[in-house]
Structure 1
Amino acid sequence: MSNFVHLHNHSDYSLLDGAAPIEAMVSRARELNMAHLALTDHGNMFGALKFYKECKSQGINPIIGCEFYMAPESRFIKTGTEKGNKYHHLILLAKNYTGYRNLIDLCTLSYTEGFYYKPRIDEELLKKYSEGLICLTGCVAGEIPRLILEGNTEAAKKKALFYREIFGDKNFYLELQYHGLDEEKLVNRSLVEISRQTQIPMAATNDIHYIKREDASAQDTLICIGTNKKKKELNRLSFGPEEFYLKSIDEMENLFGELPEAMKNTVRIGEMCDLDIDLPGPQLPDYTIPREFSDAGEYLRHLTFMGLRERYGELTREVKDRADYELKVITSMGYTGYFLIVWDFIDYARRNDIPVGPGRGSGAGSLVAYALKITDIDPIKYGLLFERFLNPDRISMPDFDIDFCYEGRQKVIEYVTEKYGVHRVGQIITFGTLKSRAVIRDVARVLDIPYAEADSIAKLVPQGPKINLKSALAMEPRLEELRLKDEVYNELIDTSLRLEGLNRHASTHAAGIVIGKEKLTRYVPLYKDSKTGVISTQYTMEMLEECGLVKMDFLGLKTLTLIKNAQQLIRKRGIDFDIDRIPEDDEKTFRFFGEGKSTCIFQFESPGMQGVLKRAKPNKIEDLIALNALYRPGPMDNIDQFIDAKMGKIPIKYPLPELEPILKETYGVIVYQEQVMEIARIVGGYTLSQADILRKAMSKKKPEEMAKLKKEFIAGACKKGYTKDKAEEIFNLLIPFAGYGFNKSHAAAYSVLAYKTAYLKANYPAEFMAANLTNEINSTDKLSEYITESREMGLTVLPPDINLSDKFFTVVDGKIVYGLVGIKNLGSNAAQHIIERRNQGGPYTSFVDFLERVDLKIINRKVLETIITSGLFDKLENKRAALFHNLDRLIDHVTRKKESEKYGQASLFDSGEMESGQEILIEPVEEWPQVELLRYEKENLGFYFSGHPLDNYKEIWKKITHIDLSKLDRYLTERTYTLLGIIKNLNEKPTRKGKPMAFATLEDYNGSIELILFPNVWEEVRELVTVDSVVGVAGKIDKSRGEPKFRVDEVKKPEELKPNGPAELHIRFISDLLREEPLQQLKAFLIDHHGYCHVYFHIPNSAEKEIIIKASPGMTVSANDNIIEEIRRYPEIQEVWRA
């Protein structure tokens, strides 16, 4: 038996303070032969259940606790500026389940009632929730130690007696710590004396914040990250001595050997703490059913068959049998209430015109869900399997992920909260961690390494979900070279390795909601975000499932908002339009797909997919479903076979004749997980439930398991009359598809959604694009992109107009009208006010009429400037400079007129200038030059709308610029490029040697880039490079300083530039899984189209870091538009570009 137990320990859930991951802490305790271990994170229980489970798995008794922040008076008093006036520390440990429940309540209330700088409790709460708890006085920041340090030992003793009275004789301890701090010596002497006088027992602890002594420096860096300090700064928060680690029993005896009782008491506490947390199965909330039904099962059956009759009319035997089977499984697995709860809030959404997605994930395979309108995909029509969603042979919670209109999602959450009670519904916490690249940047800032250096080092780390710094060091030799090159870099990488993966901050899960059978604090502590006020669970999603809480995902999908807005715009034209009643075989829609016109089409808009669509010529929704499932790494290998079979270029082959009904719709190609299951059923004799288990097991490809599965499959197939060889052939055929075959239910649901968006684009293009623009009204880049797309579709996009523009983008006479909210600095309230006054009094007749009718407190001077410079009055006045110049006079005129009318003094305005109105008031001023008008336009809209400063040089720009400034990461750094653009933001600075150099922004049609003009260049070109000048520059892209920049070697006037063709053709593949046959076809195509461009292949490696391979010098190709279009048709290719 150990002679000591660590009772005061902080994991990395003590955010940016503790540097001890729970797994490492428990493992170290086990190495040190410790029978018990506590977790006492600062003010939270974020890691409590994870710690409990980890201790149990390693044979250690878990002691759940928390280092609470105590309010000096009531938790409701939130005043005081000095730290001592805000809170002090106190350790509470759970002896049993009652104590654990009380910890949950205390921790929750500290956030919901007591938060002031920190989550706080008070003495009132301690008295109420003391049962089952052991209390320790805490570190030197505890109340009793502070009183001692203030010289008030008598008050400290009195407070100790007070706590003993609350917790009882055996449940309150004076806590002794010694980490080498002078104030700890003073505190300990007094605590020993108080113990002698009062007989209150003592307990020795070490305030653990990291695992081993050598982690001290890394933890100190973590503190600096959290406090935004540099390590070299003086007078910053630091723990000082390197003693806050998980010490061995011998080390603790060396510290407290003279106080053996303080050591033994820790063991007594450990033995008293015997916590068994009840982790039940799913605890579904009770759903209240109407009185006329005997139970939830009967009510669900009633709703199901009512919905089926609405869906199908007369019910066939197939529909009835399928519904009966699903209901039997749902009831037997105890999920009746779950279906009713989901049905209820989706029914609420539909009744309140909140669009709901057709389905997501495997849930679309349920006929009951289709009947209840939880989903909107007919599983019988599309061959979707219920067992893929809910398998009676594999116990797991059903999981409906529900898409709602982005704008209506919150209303549904509010409905659920109101229905089940605010105490039973909550959002879910998530934790951001110090990831490999981010931790390098964080640590570099603390070590005072310049950002550019830190960023370039961070970018050496390959990206990918499975990449960490340790693996990056093995993969990227330059990182190891840096460690050897410089001690600072060595510290950077070593510290980053120690801190990587630690929790950095808490936030709220984007979609997850939990609904409890009882109030949530029956299961979990709650957390309140101090910035947003959102209440969420303190346990993560994985731990909530352990507690039996049911998680539901309420996702906001912009595509549903897009469809809703487009439908409203169509109905404004008097058309009785319902997106749910469109034909499924619209010729125009499928022609758009076949021509690859899928920009803005949900799930089908990537350039690679557009190439696939052109080749596949889909002509039914089933084709879209298959292409959606195939266009992913892995399944993509089968796109050629799918297309060639569909187009009749190769015969359709089936492994067995009896598999034709399963594979016919995908032209003999296995595409879906459901097909794997059906084949296992037909050939191997599995039930669909068993086939789902087989599919999942096969996907893991564990050798021992695979041998067992193969044996079972062959045995089953032989029983059905297949030969062993044929059975083995079919099994081997299924293996790859079990791994990367796609979930058909998900592909079907999202392909139906894609078809709806394509139907809108093909048949109502103006309304469709206006809805897209509204969807992206806060994204300047997307607005610019979609306006360009609209114009390429032949649509007219009108500029903002004071009498035509609505709040959002609208359609008038087939033309898209710019929305007022899309104007920067105007704001939603101002836009709404303008429209309301226009609706009340009719169109505005002049600028003065506008001023007289609006509230100038809402439409203030800044807003008026925006209104003028964005051209809202161009149709009425067409003199922006004059309106701007006269603005103050006009405001003064209208303000005085309004005041006079208010007090009945109209006679003051009976003569002269004031009576004759606007023309006299507005002094003529020369209109701004075009470049100035465009500058304001970009300032207000975020992009150039009516023209571009380069329009006079557009033909030259096309001939000499071959790189896209919005996609700079994809270009090479060693090559010289030529750019043409307009100069913005010029800034001259001296170098370290005092020589002048310059930084400027060069802007063209696609984007902008920062120019670096070193002294030797700047001296020669400073006359050419001025703000708003159009120049050509030659130089190289520099990616070593964070964002790509352009090192200028030469500057010329536009007319001096000589046209030149592109010198490079770049081809980026989607995956590194490159098949020989299409590669040979691509190679042959490139050789057949010889030209002057060198070819570069961009291939993602297994670490998701791109490898660039230059083709052999002999492979130079032409790079005209037709050739690029042909290359894009290869399904393996993601992107093609010239440079």
Structure 2
Amino acid sequence: MADYHVFEAAPEGTPPANFVHLHVHSDYSLLDSCAKLDDLVAKAKRLNMPALALTDHGNMFGALNFEKLCHVNGINPIVGEEFYVAYGSHLEKNDVPYSHKGEDGDRQAHYFHLILLCKNQKGYENLSWLSSIAYQEGLYYGKPRIDFELLEKYHEGLICCSACIAGELPQLLLAGRESEAEELALKYKNLFGPDHYYIELQDHGLEDQKTVNKMLIAMARKLDIPLVVTNDIHYIEKEDWEAQDCLRCIGFKKNMNEPHQTMGAEKHEWYFKTEQEMRQLFPDCPDAYENTVKIANMCNLTIKQYKTQELKECLPRFELPKEFQTHGDEYTKNQDDYMRHLVEEGLRKRYPKITPTIRQRAEYELGIIFKMGFSGYFLIVWEFINWSKSTWDNVNNCAKPYIPIGPGRGSGAGSLVAYSLGITDIDPFRFKLIFERFLNPERVSMPDFDVDMDFDYRQDIIQHTRDLYGDPQVGHIVTFGTLKPKNCIADVGRTLGIPLAEVNMLKSKVSENLKTKLKNCFDPPNEKFPDGGQLAEFRHDPRYEKLFDLALKLEGCKRNTGLHASGMVIGLTALPNWAPVFKDSKTGEVGVQYTMDIIEPCGLVKFDYLGLKTLSLIRYAEDIINKHKKSGEKKFICAEVSETDKKTFDLFKRGDSVAVFQFESPGMQKILRQFQPEKIEDLVALNALYRPGPLQFIPNYIDGKWKPETIHYPDPCLEPILKETYGVMVYQEQIMQVSQRIAGFSLGGADMLRRAMGKKKPEVMMSKKVEFEEGAIKQGFTKEHADEIFDIMVPFAGYGFNKSHAAAYSVLAYRTGWLKANCPAEFMAANLTNEITSTDGLPVYIAEARRMGLQVDPPDVNRSDSNFDVVDGHIVFGFRGIKGMGNSAANAIVKERTQNGPFKNFMDFLERMITVKEDIVDEETGQKKGEKLAINKKAVEVLIKCGGFDNLDQNRPTLIANLDPAWTYTEKKVSGGSDGQISLFENTGEKEFADYKFEVIPDSTKMEKLNMEKELIGCYVSGHPLDDYQKACEKATLNSQNITRESKAAKSQHAAAIESGAKPWQLKNTEKEYVAIGMITELRPIVTKKQTTMAFAKLQDYTGTIDLTFFPKTWEQLSKKIENDKVYAFRGRLDTSPDREEPSFIIEAIEDPEMLKNRAIQEIHIQLDDGFKEEQQIFSLKEFLFGNSGSCSVYFHINAGESSYTIKANTQLSAPGTNEFLEKVKSMSFVKDAWLF
């Protein structure tokens, strides 16, 4: 649940205000108001106003937070919305015929405005329905609209105001349609009632307002309709007008310095005014001010909220089998019976023998679940998982594909009931998992299963949920993008017309720390923000001062909506009965308008549907393996592989874990080599430890395995708990078990202690510590020893990882490792399919496949499938990875080839494919409205260029040159030669065509072919420009895969040196020199301000690109030697400038790669960890080097406090210059890095 601030009260002696603001926009009126909820409520409280309304444009996104915030500050919340009202029906797309412009000043208006305010819970429910229907049925030009007919249905409990100048009444009056305006006013008065419809007066200095206000007052008096004065609040203080104008310019993508629709911003009147300021506007209408208080007094809303124990009654219901409907209307008892039945069935499937321990655990868990009333939640999750794993759709009674579900995620894997139901596939007994970590009987909270599912089929599972419970009851959850420091600088800078390069420079100085605020970038560094002050030197720079002034005001404003990546809600009834819904503009999906942290008390329980690409990867691999099995052979299922496979653990021991789930980072590879895992439990621990917090304990863990004498237990009685992790507290569950053993806590109480430790709230920690001490003394421990153990536990409680989650993900990691070790081609083909549309991912995995000795072939019309495939041991590129090849074309080729055999030649391909048609379907009706070719001429050209016909009869240039005439020839041939003309001769049968004669063109060069592949596929496939330089590439010390890591390390060292007193200009570049090899692309010389020439370029290697910088002096020496599309070896250093976001390689010299590949490695450099000092470590390194002598000199790089040194080793120490030796050095626990030179 969200935390709400309590603001400072009005100064003592401030009289209560006799005025209430009823027309108020917060930043939930996206990019149209910079007034945040906190600031609105704080000012209302400061002015001693008894109530405040919120009427955001077209949504209720902020309504619930606003209502709670007002209540905790003693202010009466008036929840409302400024609706968009359609001209005519909300179902029709009509413009307003008598309005000359829209809100942005560029278009005719498409709607009117209308204010609705909630009196009570009924009014809130009707407001929710109106807001929801507007999004679901009335969207036009991106605005959700309602109409009068909807108001007739949903007006109860609502108060209506005629709105601003964009309201229908003012617009009619300005158009000279007074009689229509009067009719409309009476229509609203009759609908809402005499005290529930008000004509609104506003004065922001606009001429149209001055004109229409007189007419509105006269009409109100004539028709006996009450008046109300409002200010159209969009910002807090008068001086905020420019920030508001800037925000709107961001929304409309306008430059503030150019003419734009200002919404009267230059009048500076759209702010939160005091009562005195408001009363100056309409002194002749005192009743209009009194009516604001009258309305506020009529509004008495406390939005209905559900306690956790009540949520079980809000869960949706699905039909139980008849035999489990024995308790009549007592649905909960029926659910419990059905769940027990399913658990019993599951236990028999999971365990050959149900032991007393298993039975006791199952009964214990069921007892808690039944007592807390959560059977319904378990059954809902069980149902959609069971449906996913089934091959039959019981709802629609049709066959469906098996959809992979993850073995588990989060603490739910600790439940035996979940395991027996098939919700998880992790045996809690095997991994010693704790149920109370998932469902704590001492802390009432909803269970929360995070369900991983095949990424490609996630939408199918969501659709099944809709089919089962009803579409209106299922929805996503809204998220909000906000103006964070970096994008705030970018957006404001753009609206001010500041050059992009300068904006990027300022952005780059903002810390990556997610908690950083712009203020921290101007304030000096402190303990909480050690990297603060990055923008201090620019704060009052005349070029940027206005940017920062505006950015500070706009920072944190809501910018856009999105959908939660996994969260879904399922209502007992239609969602608007519980919370308003909206329609996402990008996907068209429906979601609730409240965020995940506040949705549960509304009566909506969250269910997590997480699309995981690793599950798609495993499915792809299974499909390829099974596709090539002989008839009758057992189907391969990855979940059934042996968990003790030697080849798999050998792979982990080698650190050969690129593309292995959770274990592919270079740091993890090093740890795998150091630790040498031998069982899945080892992977579980390493997975849990390789996180920012516990990373520091990995050396202790590794030492514990290889040096048992280093293991230390805080108390001997804790050995059974900590033995599996060599004395290190790795898991949160261990914290709970230690609390149980030392202080006698129940596991539920231990979980609450763990949570308190993790939150680090001093007052809570102190009370828990006393409780721990008292419990420990009862168990026979001294207070001092209890305190000692408690203090050891505290940091681990913050760092410790959820063992249930680590176990589930490590099982998944093992399966991907098994595939790589045992089915390498199929595994890499599956990885490539998973990245088939990613130009970043494809080259990485193609390079890895080649490193593994696998051949990757370009597309081939006779061998390729839609996805990557394995044919005769080769990985063959999939059609879907080709730009310009749609799924329908890919599927049509595969289908035709499967049905009628391989294509014999290019003309055979054209003749067969040119007759294949697909339906054209109307998007709105879903009806067929025609046919078109499944593959068009453009797609064939794309296939030619990327090598799809290389194994047939003609080369690429010949096919490209002949495509048009060959296509025309084929069209005539398949249509019988008819061109629509009347023949002079009798038709005696099919016209005979001579074979098409190709105009033969010389073949492309290898480089030309590679460039075509790069253009259409995003990477090189049939080869690589560097293939002739492979040996040289092995000697490169910098590449596209390690540059980011190397750059971060270099920048950290650079920053540490600056902190120690070094001057920036003394440490512009890193000490470490690198060699990079690749092909130059995008070479771009520029003239500097000093009229010298420098250059930028990209260096293409096997897996990606490196940004290069040639400073003027270097460029002067090298410019005549460098050109695009040529391979070079460069020597240089990394740019450590803090204002560079992307790593850049500063070139100092050039080498001929031909010479480099024949040059012997002469040096090995070893960078030692900062803590390298133990005598045993020094001895181990010395012995290692003596045992591996070679031809290379050895250099050590050592950090000693504030200084760093490079020391050449004694000439008696030497080393071999091989990659194999380098990997051994890197795997040593006290070695930070190593490289050859």
Q: What TM-score do the two structures reach when normalised by structure 2?
A: 0.85
Deviation at 1:858, TM superposition (A): 3.0
- 1:188 corresponds to 2:216: no
How do residues 594-613 of structure 1 correspond to structure 2 at under 5 angstroms?
594-613=653-672
**What residue number does 2:74 align with?**
59
CA contact (8 A) 1:886 1:922 kept: yes
Deviation at 1:387, TM superposition (A): 0.5
Deviation at 1:955, TM superposition (A): 5.2
Give the whole-Å Cα distance in 2 for the aligned partners of 1:88 and 1:1062: 78
CA contact (8 A) 2:977 2:991 kept: no
Q: Deviations over 1:417-439 (max 9, x none)?
A: 11111111111111111111010
Deviation at 1:339, TM superposition (A): 0.7
What letter matches 1:421 in structure 2? G
Deviation at 1:287, TM superposition (A): 3.5
**What residue number does 1:259 align with?**
285
**What residue number does 1:444 align with?**
493
**Higher RCO, 1 vs 2 (CA within 8 Å, ≥6 residues apart):** 1
- Would the alpha carbon gap of residues 1013 and 623 (structure 1) be closer, same or farther in structure 2, given more than 3 Å must change? closer
- 1:30 corresponds to 2:89: no
- Would the alpha carbon gap of residues 969 and 1076 (structure 1) be closer, same or farther in structure 2, given more than 3 Å must change? closer
How do residues 760-909 of structure 1 correspond to structure 2 at under 5 angstroms?
760-855=819-914, 857-877=933-953, 879-900=955-976
CA contact (8 A) 2:844 2:1102 kept: no
Of the structure 1 ranges 344-353 and 722-731, higher mean CA displacement relative to structure 2 is found in 722-731
Give the whole-Å Cα distance in 1 for the aligned partners of 2:686 and 2:1044: 31
**What residue number does 2:445 align with?**
396
**What residue number does 1:1101 align with?**
none
Q: Deviations over 1:524-547 (max 9, x none)?
A: 111012342111111111221121
What letter matches 1:107 in structure 2? S
**Residue among 566, 573, 580 paired with 1:518:** 573
Deviation at 1:70, TM superposition (A): 0.9
Give the superposed CA RMSD. Answer: 3.3
| SS at structure 2 position matched to 1:556 | strand
- 1:414 corresponds to 2:466: no
Deviation at 1:160, TM superposition (A): 1.7
How do residues 272-421 of structure 1 correspond to structure 2 at under 5 angstroms?
272-281=298-307, 282=311, 283-293=314-324, 294=326, 295-352=334-391, 353-421=402-470
Give the whole-Å Cα distance in 2 for the aligned partners of 1:1022 and 1:609: 41
Q: Deviations over 1:58-105 (max 9, x none)?
A: 110000000011112111220338535410111110111111111111
CA contact (8 A) 1:1067 1:1135 kept: yes
Give the whole-Å Cα distance in 2 for the aligned partners of 1:578 and 1:712: 50
Give the whole-Å Cα distance in 1 for the aligned partners of 2:674 and 2:1150: 45
**Residue among 140, 143, 146 paired with 1:121:** 146
Give the whole-Å Cα distance in 2 for the aligned partners of 1:966 and 1:655: 40
**What residue number does 1:930 align with?**
1006
CA contact (8 A) 2:86 2:146 kept: yes
- Would the alpha carbon gap of residues 447 and 312 (structure 1) be closer, same or farther in structure 2, given more than 3 Å must change? same
CA contact (8 A) 1:673 1:695 kept: yes
Of the structure 1 ranges 950-959 and 548-557, higher mean CA displacement relative to structure 2 is found in 950-959
How do residues 122-161 of structure 1 correspond to structure 2 at under 5 angstroms?
122-161=147-186
Q: Deviations over 1:183-203 (max 9, x none)?
A: 222222222211222221111
- 1:79 corresponds to 2:94: yes
Deviation at 1:366, TM superposition (A): 0.7
- Would the alpha carbon gap of residues 613 and 1005 (structure 1) be closer, same or farther in structure 2, given more than 3 Å must change? closer
**What residue number does 1:171 align with?**
196
- Would the alpha carbon gap of residues 1084 and 472 (structure 1) be closer, same or farther in structure 2, given more than 3 Å must change? farther
Give the whole-Å Cα distance in 2 for the aligned partners of 1:1017 and 1:663: 58
What letter matches 1:422 in structure 2? D
Q: Deviations over 1:997-1030 (max 9, x none)?
A: 8765553445335667799988987765554344
What letter matches 2:269 in structure 1? E
CA contact (8 A) 2:241 2:266 kept: no
Deviation at 1:988, TM superposition (A): 7.4
Give the whole-Å Cα distance in 1 for the aligned partners of 2:552 and 2:243: 9
Q: Deviations over 1:576-634 (max 9, x none)?
A: 22323222212221121122122211111111111111122211111111111122233
Deviation at 1:839, TM superposition (A): 0.9
Give the whole-Å Cα distance in 1 for the aligned partners of 2:1092 and 2:668: 52
Deviation at 1:1051, TM superposition (A): 7.4
Deviation at 1:478, TM superposition (A): 4.6
Deviation at 1:787, TM superposition (A): 1.8
- 1:541 corresponds to 2:596: yes
**What residue number does 1:1103 align with?**
none
How do residues 1116-1127 of structure 1 correspond to structure 2 at under 5 angstroms?
1121=1219, 1124-1126=1222-1224
CA contact (8 A) 1:660 1:668 kept: yes
CA contact (8 A) 2:521 2:536 kept: no
Give the whole-Å Cα distance in 2 for the aligned partners of 1:141 and 1:799: 60
Deviation at 1:507, TM superposition (A): 1.0
Deviation at 1:734, TM superposition (A): 2.2
| SS at structure 2 position matched to 1:407 | helix
CA contact (8 A) 1:1082 1:1127 kept: no
- 1:431 corresponds to 2:480: yes
* Structure 2 gap ranges (5+): 1-15, 103-107, 327-333, 392-401, 526-531, 916-932, 980-985, 1051-1067, 1186-1191
Give the whole-Å Cα distance in 1 for the aligned partners of 2:757 and 2:183: 67
What letter matches 1:396 in structure 2? S
Give the whole-Å Cα distance in 2 for the aligned partners of 1:338 and 1:827: 41
Q: Deviations over 1:298-328 (max 9, x none)?
A: 1111111111111113311111111111111
Deviation at 1:553, TM superposition (A): 0.7
**What residue number does 1:1028 align with?**
1125
Deviation at 1:564, TM superposition (A): 1.7
- Would the alpha carbon gap of residues 775 and 395 (structure 1) be closer, same or farther in structure 2, given more than 3 Å must change? same
Q: Deviations over 1:888-923 (max 9, x none)?
A: 23222222211217899797864xxx53x35xx123
What letter matches 1:425 in structure 2? V
Give the whole-Å Cα distance in 2 for the aligned partners of 1:444 and 1:540: 30
CA contact (8 A) 2:868 2:875 kept: yes
- 1:205 corresponds to 2:298: no
- Would the alpha carbon gap of residues 1096 and 463 (structure 1) be closer, same or farther in structure 2, given more than 3 Å must change? farther
CA contact (8 A) 2:870 2:876 kept: yes
How do residues 4-19 of structure 1 correspond to structure 2 at under 5 angstroms?
4-19=19-34
How do residues 564-643 of structure 1 correspond to structure 2 at under 5 angstroms?
564-571=619-626, 572-574=628-630, 575-576=633-634, 577-643=636-702
Give the whole-Å Cα distance in 1 for the aligned partners of 2:1171 and 2:1133: 35
**What residue number does 1:244 align with?**
270
Deviation at 1:970, TM superposition (A): 4.5
- 1:503 corresponds to 2:558: yes
CA contact (8 A) 1:608 1:1133 kept: no
Give the whole-Å Cα distance in 2 for the aligned partners of 1:1068 and 1:356: 43
- 1:214 corresponds to 2:312: no
Give the whole-Å Cα distance in 2 for the aligned partners of 1:746 and 1:993: 58
Q: What TM-score do the two structures reach when normalised by structure 1?
A: 0.92
CA contact (8 A) 1:677 1:691 kept: yes
Give the whole-Å Cα distance in 1 for the aligned partners of 2:163 and 2:1168: 59
**What residue number does 2:294 align with?**
268
Give the whole-Å Cα distance in 2 for the aligned partners of 1:131 and 1:1135: 71
| SS at structure 2 position matched to 1:174 | strand
Deviation at 1:648, TM superposition (A): 4.5
**What residue number does 1:742 align with?**
801
* Structure 1 gap ranges (5+): 1099-1107
What letter matches 1:336 in structure 2? S
Give the whole-Å Cα distance in 1 for the aligned partners of 2:1122 and 2:972: 48
Deviation at 1:729, TM superposition (A): 3.3
Identity among equivalent pairs (%)? 47
